[in-house]
């Protein structure tokens, strides 16, 4: 069985340790735990790992956040992965810092990366792992907030959550979205 695991973020050093790039960070940690590395490929940096007889195709789109859909559609088609085996890891300002929420399907929540993926797939029927980054910003400063660096205190909260997010991904590919939701959506 093959799964496409997509971490959303923006490429480039400018964005490397920003809140908006938590999807990239989760996939980097997952690849590192499997002792594999990402390599540049079409529309994304890609790595493959095996876990319990499953192949996980990990991609970090190189199209920038707001144009992620093109990369997701390309890799689903290239690897012949069904939509039910897609999981998108995304930051979410509507969740408190460090909160993880797995959803089997749903809307875009105003997230530009999800908006573009839904547009390109013409579907909302895919799973997403939402990682809470909090909403500690003044009205009108959302963009500045999500594109700014983590504070030391936020990093201390997030480091263990990144590992738990990797465990949730492994659970998703082995026992499915429903049972994984009941385990991790606390």
Write out the catalytic residue numbers.
20
Residue of 133, 126, 136 whose CA lies nearest to 162: 133
- Both tokens of residue 152? 């030391």
- Per DSSP bridges, beta strands 54-61 and 44-51 are antiparallel
Contact (CB, 8 A) for 96 and 133: no
Burial category of 120 from C-beta neighbours within 10 Å (exposed 0-12, middle 13-18, buried 19 and up): middle
Rounded to an integer, what distance in angstroms lies between the CA atom of residue 108 and that of residue 168? 21
Q: Which of 83, 77, 40, 81 is nearest to 60 (CA)?
A: 40
At residue 115, φ and ψ (nearest 5 deg) are: -55, -45
Closest listed residue to residue 109, CA positions, set 83, 56, 146, 161: 146
């Amino acid at each position: 069985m093959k799964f496409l695991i997509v971490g959303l973020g923006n490429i480039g050093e400018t964005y490397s340790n920003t809140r908006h790039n938590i999807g990239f960070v989760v996939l980097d940690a997952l690849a590192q735990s499997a002792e594999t590395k990402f390599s540049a490929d079409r529309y994304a940096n890609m790595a493959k790992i095996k876990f319990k007889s499953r192949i996980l195709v990990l991609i970090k789109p190189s199209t920038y956040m707001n144009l992620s859909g093109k990369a997701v559609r390309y890799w689903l088609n290239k690897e012949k992965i069904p939509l039910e085996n897609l999981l998108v890891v995304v930051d979410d300002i509507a969740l408190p810092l460090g909160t993880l929420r797995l959803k089997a399907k749903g809307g875009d929540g105003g997230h530009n990366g999800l908006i573009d993926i839904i547009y390109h797939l013409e579907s909302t029927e895919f799973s997403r792992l939402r990682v809470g980054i909090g909403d500690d910003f003044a009205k009108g400063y959302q963009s500045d907030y999500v594109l700014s660096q983590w504070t030391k205190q936020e990093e201390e909260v997030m480091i263990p959550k990144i590992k738990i997010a990797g465990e949730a991904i492994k659970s998703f590919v082995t026992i499915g979205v429903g049972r994984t939701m009941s385990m991790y959506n606390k």
